[in-house]
Amino acid sequence: MNGIHETVLLNEAVTALNIMPNGNYVDATFGRGGHSKNILNQFKCEDKGRLLVIDRDTDAIEVAESLAKTYNNLLIEHGAFEELEKMIGIHFENKVDGILFDLGISSPQIDQAERGFSFNKDGPLDMRMDASSGETAADWLNRADWKEISKVLWRYGEEKNATKIAKEIVIYREEVKPLETTNELVGIIEKINKYSKKHPATRSFQAIRIHLNRELEQVENVLPAAINCLKKGGRLVVISFHSLEDRIVKRFLKKQSSQGKFDKRMPIAPTDSATLKIIGKPIKASALELKNNPRARSAIMRIAEKL
């Protein structure tokens, strides 16, 4: 059940957090704990540093709970990182020194057929990161109208045949039966999309997953909260895996770091209200990492420091 997740940008992300012996840190996307273990190993026995880990997936939380038997400075919260401020408030009296987001899904989530994320494995059409609550992909696809489905496939998957696929889904559920499995959905998509380099269902599966888990909204909501929770000099480190996510992060960091900078085109210099300083250029996986972990090819890491 636990599965293996090959952590992306492991050393780069932990170095970017600038771990201090008595600092308080948050790994908001625990997964299988690759980054977390590395952070915890930076602390020596006498250090007072603590790490709060968050994940909305109960399997991930089980792994964190077993790790907590080895590390007594590991704190755990199950839930969506949208609740970051509340979760940090529960565990820390003050603000924290660093927050890491390694966005998206973990390999075990994709690899377990019963989670319904994979178009390569037959399983229930679920796709919830938190399988303990909320609507499944099947629930949604069996209730939404074709326009809503088409909008999601286009917006979050840039699927060119979004409308055709959406209409075919509605015909299938009305004339054949309600959708239940990933293979049924793949079968419908394959009637419309022919094989190219990518599997014909890649874009639709990505889009449905992003929609169902409110992935982009979560990122949009959490970034301002993360700044509020950081101490002066604290680090924000975000790893994204697709352009929709990265665009949100990039725009946010740009806006927060440029506000208040003197601009020659402006008649009056605004008050200095920048909240962040961007640290370095965005970081991508090295050739060596890409060789060992092809999943790292789309990863892009951005770092910022609270002013």
Give the residues lining the site for ligand SAM (CB under 6 A): 5, 7, 29, 31-35, 54-57, 60, 80-81, 102, 104-106, 129, 218
Residue keyed to tokens 């000099």: 233
Give whole-number Cα distances, 307 to 11, 97, 233, 280, in Å.
24, 12, 6, 15
Q: Both tokens of residue 275?
A: 């909240």
CB of 296 to ligand SAM, least distance (A): 11
Q: Measured from the CB atom, is 180 or 220 closer to ligand SAM?
A: 220
Residue nearer to ligand SAM on the CB measure, 22 or 292:
292
CB of 84 to ligand SAM, least distance (A): 9
Burial of 68 (0-12, 13-18, 19+ CB in 10 A): middle
Q: How far is the CB of 176 from ligand SAM (least distance, A)?
A: 32
Q: Which residue is nearest to ligand SAM (CB)?
A: 31
Beta strands 74-78 and 24-27: pairing type?
Answer: unpaired
- Shortest approach of ligand SAM to residue 33 CB, angstroms? 5
Residue located via tokens 């420091």: 305
Closer to ligand SAM by Cβ: residue 32 or 242: 32
Sheet holding 230-240, edge to edge: 74-78, 50-55, 24-27, 96-102, 230-240, 300-306, 276-278
Nearest distance in Å: CB 241, ligand SAM:
7
Q: How far apart are CA 75 and CA 3, in angstroms?
A: 22
* Nearest approach, Cβ of residue 60 and ligand SAM (Å): 4
All residues at 6 or more sequence positions from 3 whose CB lies less than 8 Å from its CB, including other chains: 32, 59, 106, 107, 108, 111, 112
Nearer to ligand SAM, 38 or 257 (CB): 38
Give the residue with the Cβ less far from ligand SAM, 139 or 217: 217
Q: Which CB, 140 or 241, lies closer to ligand SAM? A: 241
**Dihedral angle sign, alpha carbons of residues 148, 153, 158, 164:** negative
d(CA 46, CA 303): 29
